[in-house]
Amino acid sequence: MELMTHSSTFLLPNPPADDGPALTYALVILNRRLPRFTPLLWKHAQLRMCADGGANRLYDELPQLFPEEEALAIRKRYKPDLIKGDMDSIREEVLQFYKNAGTEVVDASEDQDTTDLHKCVAYVKDLPKLKNQNLCILAAGALGGRFDHEVGNINVLCRFPSMRIILLSDNCLIQLLPCSHRHEMRILSDYEGPHCGLVPIGEPSKSTTTTGLQWNLTNAEMRFGGLISTSNIVKGEIVTVQSDTDLLWTISIKKAW
Ligand SMILES: Nc1ncnc2c1ncn2[C@@H]1O[C@H](COP(=O)(O)OP(=O)(O)OP(=O)(O)O)[C@@H](O)[C@H]1O
Ligand SMILES: Cc1ncc(C[n+]2csc(CCO)c2C)c(N)n1
């Protein structure tokens, strides 16, 4: 079985060239308080998008991260490439501001069955210019607040299992570990951990094996209603995971670095 490696180098101001696969990042800003490291994610991303009301967050909250500078200057510097969604949350002044600045706007209000994050992921997936890239989507503001939205965001991971998508908040990240691969997480312990979790999603796991955790699993069963691995602790720099089902991997993000 092929190995997939993971490293949260998007949290580093200057990521080393040799740590993990070369990835092309696309940033999706959601309608939830922006993580404090959003400017760093922005810098790493080649494509920057707002999911509907996420544009309000960019407009309102990004200037607050640069209190010394003029809000207008920050808004002009952090102009998204695209705003997509059903457009029921973006404010008119925000829409007009970014339209005038040249942002592409895709109104998908006819689709009331998929979330705005889903719509953004579908857009990136089909972009010809990113076709042969090793793409990783960073979804900022995906956790905390409304539980229906959080679950909807997790469901997007499950609807696009072959894509690398990372849900981010100030406090933690979540990603899918597809069972088609075995996984190696290179832990950046100055930036993330030690708290972590492994949770079967969609169906119970009959056999999961890990290394590098305080409470490792060895051909262990996991299911909701039985054992799932929460409040686990990362030990050391590498965690490995192999499972017969897709799992969610979550790890805490440190408060300050
Ligand atoms: N509280 C939240 N927690 C996590 N993710 C959120 C939250 N609020 C919004 N999002 C994410 O941001 C995206 C855009 O949010 P927005 O508020 O524009 O969506 P919406 O479809 O208008 O929501 P609503 O259900 O309120 O109509 C959502 O698709 C979701 O992925
Ligand atoms: C069974 C079912 N439940 C909820 C919705 C509502 N919904 C789900 S995604 C979405 C778009 C949000 O931007 C909306 C309104 C639905 N369509 N079908």
Same domain, yes or no, for 149 and 202? no
Same domain, yes or no, for 68 and 154? yes
Whether 88 shows a pLDDT value over 90: the answer reads yes
**Is the beta carbon of 116 within 6 A of some atom in ligand 1?**
yes
Report pLDDT digits (tens) over 14-58. 888 776 678 999 999 999 999 999 999 999 999 999 999 999 999
Q: Are 30 and 51 in contact (CB under 8 A)?
A: yes
Angle, in degrees to the nearest 10, between helices 92-100 and 54-61: 80
What six digits make up the tokens of 64? Answer: 């607050």
**Is the beta carbon of 198 within 6 A of some atom in ligand 1?**
no
In a domain, 8, yes or no: no
In a domain, 45, yes or no: yes
In a domain, 6, yes or no: no
pTM for this predicted structure: 0.96
Same domain, yes or no, for 213 and 223? yes
Query: How much distance in Å is there from the Cα of 121 to the middle of ligand 2?
Result: 17
pLDDT for 21: 72
Instruction: Classify residue 247 as exposed, middle or buried by CB count within 10 Å of its CB (0-12, 13-18, 19+).
Output: buried
Could you please report the per-residue DSSP string of 154-210? HHHHHHSTTSEEEEE-SSEEEEEE-TTSEEEEE--TTTEEEEEEEEE-SS-EEEEEE
Same domain, yes or no, for 175 and 157? no
Report pLDDT digits (tens) over 137-193. 999 999 998 999 999 999 999 999 999 999 999 999 999 999 999 999 999 999 999
Same domain, yes or no, for 186 and 158? no
Same domain, yes or no, for 104 and 201? no
Closest CA to 205 of 184, 174, 226: 226
Nearest CA to ligand 2 atom 5: 113
Nearest CA to ligand 2 atom 11: 112
Same domain, yes or no, for 178 and 239? yes
Query: How much distance in Å is there from the Cα of 220 to the middle of ligand 1?
Result: 35
Which atom from ligand 2 is nearest to the alpha carbon of 111? 11
Measured from the Cβ of residue 21, the count of other Cβ atoms closer than 10 Å reads: 11
**Is the beta carbon of 54 within 6 A of some atom in ligand 1?**
yes
Query: How much distance in Å is there from the Cα of 177 to the middle of ligand 2?
Result: 26
- What is the domain range of residue 197? 171-257
Ligand 2 pocket, residues with Cβ under 6 angstroms: 86, 112-116
Same domain, yes or no, for 152 and 178? no
Nearest CA to ligand 2 atom 16: 113
The CATH number that applies at residue 188 is 2.60.120.320
Query: How much distance in Å is there from the Cα of 87 to the middle of ligand 1?
Result: 11
